[in-house]
Structure 1
Amino acid sequence: MILKHLNELYDYRDLIWKLSWGEFKLRYKNSVLGYFWSLLEPLLMLTVLYLVFSNLMRVQVEHYQLFLLMGIILWNFLSRSTTIGMFAIVGRPDMIKKIYFPRDIFVISSCITALLMSLFESVVFFIFMAVFRVPISVNLVYAPLILIFLFTLALGISMALSALNVYYRDVQFIWDVLMQAGFFATPILYSMDILPETLQKIVLLNPMSRIIISARDTVIYSTPASPEDLLFMFASSAIFLIIGYAVFSRLEPGFAEEI
């Protein structure tokens, strides 16, 4: 059954891309800066956080600008993909009610839109690497794999949220609070070594913590990703995708009536 559904999604690949690219362009249609906002947004956030944490709180981390920017970009992707994905169903009532095709293509296209936005942000990151003369090592080969784990994790969460949001509109407010709390609970602004060992173990249970740490190690610090981290990221992202798909499939039959 799952293979049949995957084949069905493959048949709609052109529609998925058109929805993704169309939503991406729409987000910058009425913006004066247009696509350049994708580059400026993380820079503005980086500037504020860097001034606070490097000067006022005296965070001592090698290449802290890149350390911080990498965390911001990866977290922004999770935040955007789940936020856009959460409204993928409720935001298209006419299409859901009148046209039949796999409804999860809306969620998939939303996550691809967020990915496109993050890829634009990554341009800033690699410019910064060149400015600060940080060499790119062979360990960069791990980056696409880590990105796949991140995309899978975000897609699983987005599928669950999009389905739940059809029935329970409070989900969007709860998720917003969880994302704000998660930003500070994930090692985005600080390194793990400032935490007690017991707390480190708890923080590492968060898949985003491993994803961000592994991405920094492989891209900035030329360190290969550990097999333990790769296995954890694979297992956790797969579990979230399975749970998200199960929730979506269970609630999908009632979408048209509830919307």
Structure 2
Amino acid sequence: MAAPRHSRGEDHPAGRGRDPGAAPGARAGGRRRCDGGAMIAFPISAAPRPVPARRPRPGAHPLGLVWTLVRTDFKVRYHGTVAGFLWALLKPFTMFVVLLGVFSFVFASDRHYKINLIVALFLWDFFAEATKVGLTSLHAKGYLLTKARFPSWILVVTSVSNAVITLGVFSVVIVAFLGLAGRPPSLAGLGFFILYLGQYLLMVVGFSLATSVLFLRYRDLNQVWEVVSQAGFFVAPIIYPLGILPERLHFYLYVWPPTPVIQFSRMVLVDGVLPSTRAHLFLAGVTAVTLAAGILIFRRHAPRAAEYL
């Protein structure tokens, strides 16, 4: 008498102990009987190993990012060629020669006026260019914030690098010209001039930090600033000496950041006179207030900057 056929799970030991609710194809492995009665071995498939969560890539070092962004801006502006680099050095020099030639002809009777005018024009040009670029820096380069993790203020600070390079070259040119003209500034004068440039840069950075985040929400801000800067050109003592105005107005003119820097730079470079301690304290106060206000505004609005990019 033929023995009763067992179920497939009982026919092979691999089927014993298997979860009754599991699908037939979910067995770990063994042999499977085909229609012809032959036993066919199938490979054992291991359960997929869990993939660990990818850790976020740490941000790069801020100094390395600053150098990379400065170098990139320089190459973009001057196309990364040797001629472009030479032009970056020659542009302030050629502009100085052109202005000196024109003003020497127009203002031949006043030797100091033309030098004072050239110094003021270059210092103003730095302020106008740097603040204009800094205002739109986050809007122009905000896409980089989605590519890597780094502080957003780096985009603002590095945006003024080209203007800083131009100002640095001009400073060397004007000091060399004064030396060749027989009126070299003193070491103390050079030291204070460098101090003024540093404070000037800090004021520009503070302004750029504030306006860069505000521009993301108020897109007309660049148009407003263009009008303000045009009016500010005549507020600062660039084309006129400060002494022609009543003394009671001097304080209000000195609140405008370019005014004390232009006036003090003229004094130490051309006139050979050091400003008073009170004047230096005033400039330090204007610098501190401008930078602190820019940092506070930036820290308040920067966390939501991505919503407006």
Give the TM-score normalised by structure 2.
Answer: 0.72
Which protein has the bigger helix share?
A: 1
Whole-angstrom CA distance in 1 between matches of 2:257 and 2:128: 14
* 2:308 counterpart residue number: 258
Q: Deviations over 1:104-138 (max 9, x none)?
A: 00111123332112112223323431343222213
Shift of 1:39: 2.8
SS of aligned partner of 2:140:
coil
Query: C-alpha separation between the residues in 2 aligned to 1:29 and 1:177?
Result: 31
Which amino acid is the alignment partner of residue 215 of structure 1? S
Q: In structure 2, what is the equivalent of residue 144 of structure 1?
A: 194
1:68 corresponding residue in structure 2? 117
**Does residue 247 of the first structure (1) align with residue 301 of the second (2)?**
no
1:168-211 alpha-carbon deviations (Å, 9 max, x no partner) = 11111111111111111100111111112223332223232111
Kept in 2: contact 1:66–1:128 (CA 8 A): no
- In the aligned structure 2, how far is the partner of 1:179 from the partner of 1:109? 21
Which residue matches 2:68?
Answer: 18
Gaps of 5+ in 2: 1-58
**Higher alpha-carbon Rg:** 2
| Aligned residues: CA RMSD | 2.5
Q: Quick one: which of 142, 156, 169 aligns to 1:120?
A: 169
Contact 1:85 1:111 in 2 (8 A): yes
**Secondary structure in 1 aligned to 2:273?**
coil
Q: Specify whether residues 45 and 62 from structure 1 end up closer, same or farther in structure 2 by C-alpha distance, changes over 3 A only.
A: closer
TM-score under structure 1 normalisation?
0.85
Matches of 1:225 and 1:151 in 2, distance apart?
20
TM-aligned CA distance change 1:251 to 1:44, over 3 Å: farther
Q: 1:160 & 1:87 partners in 2: Cα distance?
A: 11
| Residues 1:221 and 2:275 are matched in the alignment | no
**1:30-49: CA deviations, max 9, x gaps?**
8877322233345545666x
Deviations 1:124-177 (A, max 9, x none): 323431343222213222112111111111110011111111111111111111
Contact 1:53-1:189 at 8 Å conserved across structures: no
Between Structure 1 and Structure 2, how many residues are aligned? 246
Residue 134 (structure 1) aligns with: 183
Identity %: 29
C-alpha separation between the residues in 1 aligned to 2:78 and 2:163? 13
1:180-259 aligned at under 5 Å gives the runs: 180-259=230-309
| Contact 1:39-1:124 within 8 A present in 2 as well | yes
Between stretches 122-131 and 102-111, larger displacement belongs to 122-131
